[in-house]
Structure 1
């Protein structure tokens, strides 16, 4: 067994600032989830981001760090490899010699150690990768996306890819059945991502918006509106200032209420339990006091009474807005 290296205080202070792979969107050596309803153009936006990294082109005005990109297409791989990726390259007039993206054209079980080993070995043979795009989340595991055991094995596998290859991971996922404010997955999945990106699309208008819901280690802001244009047998995202990026219930949350939701995610990840019975939801719940303690850790206030007032205000606003629900001194996120 390798010796474990512990960081001293001096080592901690010398730790580097996070670097951006795509400025304001995805950090290097991090995990991100892009979530939204079906037909919201998530896959096309993921290709747009990934191939911007591959070619080094600015992503709609945001600086990009160039690097190898691997697309893991668990659904519709033929269309991705034959139409969507070439269509993006053709639209942006990328020379044949500069088209360096790779495709893993089938399902992969990221909760199975042997599959992780095989993927890492294949990546090491091809060279250095800066980004792995997994599309779609539900096809990337052997177990169920709502099981704790699967979630912990999957997160461990993704962290191993990140650790051993240095690549960031962008996972594309669908929203919950009844709640479009989060992806359809176990809470442990949801809480593990460094970045959460929400996509909302209008199929009739052929528009989409992408909003930063959370960065763990950076300011959580940024939103972009796109018009999807047909080109070279695919759809291409073009930045369009006329596409409104405001108006959704989730994005109108105050900074304090959004911080309280983030604290609830942290509390659910650390203390969440599953309760049995007709009065309990099919998801993890956490004691309200445990959520409150996590809120206090996020709070900029110094006085205990001020923190309590802010917590109670956020608790009421989030409940009234349909983001959370209570029962028997417990709280949970409203989803599927």
Structure 2
């Protein structure tokens, strides 16, 4: 590809949506939440809506082939959950075109990525790959930098060589349910992050756009899980509150500071070793502060500094970040 001059770069096309307001074409999206928050059922709902070209939650969908990579419970996904969704929505047999990759896969291993891409290209054009669950899609540890970089490289190969988007389902951390349980390099690599919250007793769930890198980061939907054909089907329900309740305690300023920390970690993060350092990348506090200033709506330097110090204290007091020796990192399990 040629180097672009200003005229060509400024005329690059606007991102296209695969699922309006939710997932862009040729992009990576992360859906994360606690266990029993109905993440897998929502991922199936999104994926199969793309498969049949059906609007999702009132948003326009660009139809295309869909592949489910089920690293856990592939039998139940292929035999029960996907057929139940098709039956519930009265989709004719000949229009049921989703595919399942029914074996273990390590996306941090070149040979496994090559085999997946070859299988996809053999079957035709795919618009979306759903990977469920994140922790089962790698050979190494989900908190190791080496694994993270190899895995991200593998995902980017899938995007580049197949043209598909990738939706990854992941659990939140044990100690921090504001983010997925993964190395910071994973976390910062996704174009979109979607937060899932569920009430297993009430059979309700909410899905909220936490961040789009290249679009307005808004959107929240409530769902009721309906028992149908031996499975659960997500149905849009306006009566389900999408306010997030007591779990969503971060202010807009504190969320912005966390996003700035993610950016700083991705750009400047380093690994430190010793009993006082965490098993993840850390970044100098001043580098985080500079990224916060880029996100800040304030004009005056003193006002920016006050806002940064306020967010820094609140995030530390809330257990979202930790410090040592003029460095900072995000807390996760």
Q: TM-score scaled by structure 1?
A: 0.95
In the TM superposition, residue 109 of structure 1 has moved relative to its aligned partner by 1.1
Answering whether residue 224 of structure 2 is matched by residue 227 of structure 1, we say: yes
Aligned equivalent of 1:186? 183
- Please give the residue correspondences for 1:105-254 in structure 2 after superposition, counting only pairs within 5 Å: 105-248=102-245, 251-254=248-251
CA contact (8 A) 1:212 1:220 kept: yes
Partner SS for 2:205: strand
Aligned equivalent of 2:308? 311
In the TM superposition, residue 19 of structure 1 has moved relative to its aligned partner by 1.1
CA contact (8 A) 2:260 2:295 kept: yes
Answering whether residue 42 of structure 2 is matched by residue 45 of structure 1, we say: yes
In the TM superposition, residue 260 of structure 1 has moved relative to its aligned partner by 1.0
Task: Give the Cα–Cα distance (whole angstroms) in 2 for the partners of residues 217 and 39 of structure 1.
Answer: 30
Task: Give the Cα–Cα distance (whole angstroms) in 2 for the partners of residues 185 and 321 of structure 1.
Answer: 19
In the alignment, structure 1 segments of 5+ residues that lack a partner are: none
Partner SS for 2:143: coil
In the TM superposition, residue 248 of structure 1 has moved relative to its aligned partner by 4.2
Task: Give the Cα–Cα distance (whole angstroms) in 1 for the partners of residues 245 and 291 of structure 2.
Answer: 26
**Residues 25, 65 of structure 1: CA spacing in aligned structure 2 closer, same or farther, 3 A cutoff?**
same
CA contact (8 A) 1:41 1:201 kept: yes
Aligned equivalent of 2:290? 293
Task: Give the Cα–Cα distance (whole angstroms) in 2 for the partners of residues 180 and 42 of structure 1.
Answer: 14
Task: Give the Cα–Cα distance (whole angstroms) in 1 for the partners of residues 169 and 291 of structure 2.
Answer: 28
Tell me the matched-pair count: 333
Aligned equivalent of 1:77? 74
CA contact (8 A) 1:75 1:106 kept: no
Q: CA RMSD in A?
A: 1.5
Partner SS for 1:314: helix
In the TM superposition, residue 54 of structure 1 has moved relative to its aligned partner by 0.5
| 1:233-256 C-alpha deviation (Å, 9 max, x unpaired) | 110001112222224456343332
Partner SS for 1:35: strand
Aligned equivalent of 2:324? 327
In the TM superposition, residue 232 of structure 1 has moved relative to its aligned partner by 1.0
CA contact (8 A) 2:271 2:282 kept: yes
Answering whether residue 101 of structure 2 is matched by residue 104 of structure 1, we say: yes
CA contact (8 A) 1:148 1:188 kept: yes
Partner SS for 1:246: coil
- Alignment equivalent of 1:275, drawn from 268, 272, 277: 272
CA contact (8 A) 2:188 2:263 kept: yes
| 1:225-284 C-alpha deviation (Å, 9 max, x unpaired) | 111111011100011122222244563433322111111011112222233344333332
| 1:163-207 C-alpha deviation (Å, 9 max, x unpaired) | 111110000011111111111111111110011111111111111
Q: TM-score scaled by structure 2?
A: 0.96
In the TM superposition, residue 105 of structure 1 has moved relative to its aligned partner by 0.7
Partner SS for 1:184: coil
- Alignment equivalent of 1:90, drawn from 70, 87, 90: 87
Deviates more, 1:97-106 or 1:318-327: 318-327
Task: Give the Cα–Cα distance (whole angstroms) in 1 for the partners of residues 103 and 149 of structure 2.
Answer: 22
Partner SS for 1:65: coil
In the TM superposition, residue 293 of structure 1 has moved relative to its aligned partner by 1.0
Task: Give the Cα–Cα distance (whole angstroms) in 1 for the partners of residues 237 and 79 of structure 2.
Answer: 27
Task: Give the Cα–Cα distance (whole angstroms) in 1 for the partners of residues 139 and 274 of structure 2.
Answer: 28
